[in-house]
Structure 1
């Protein structure tokens, strides 16, 4: 993986984390926490979704959509763990 692709994934993950925080009101961790969750969600989505055959196309908007789904799922799972 090249540095440019890692940097792009971090930036897209940051945007996705912010969007996921807005979508999952009450389950977020503040702006910086949601950005971290978005970055981790982007990495997870980049690994899991292609293996499952889930694709939404190419480009930046599709990557943001993918990463946002991964971040929302991650926020949901973290919320479940924190409640128990």
Structure 2
């Protein structure tokens, strides 16, 4: 995550994952929320860097990126579960 430390990344990841969990109406638990928030932020940051060449910085920017990325990961997980 850009411009923030690991502790901040875990906190932001947990909040982003929790918000995505509430928005997508999935019940995953705290650890999965952190994983989804951080993982979603990492993936979406990489995509934005490849396409646009920059990403949102700071706490709020990473919270937004983490939320969107976590929602995408939840959606992809649901699609994979339905197809199997």
Q: TM-score, normalised by structure 2?
A: 0.75
Aligned to 2:61: 62
**In structure 2, C-alpha distance between the alignment counterparts of 1:53 and 1:12, rounded to whole Å:** 23
Aligned residues: 81
How far did residue 51 of structure 1 move? 1.5
Cα 1:8–1:73 change in 2 (3 A) is: same
Deviation at 1:55, TM superposition (A): 5.8
Offset from partner CA, 1:27-58 (integer Å, 9 cap, x none): 44234322321121122122222212186643
Deviations 1:9-31 (A, max 9, x none): 22221111011001101x44234
Judge which range, 68-77 or 5-14, deviates more. 5-14
Q: Quote the RMSD (CA, aligned, Å).
A: 2.4
Residue segments in structure 1 that go unaligned for 5+ positions in a row: none
The TM-score, its normalising length taken from structure 1, stands at 0.75
Alignment partner, residue 33 of structure 1:
32
Distance in 2, matches of 1:80 and 1:56, equals 27
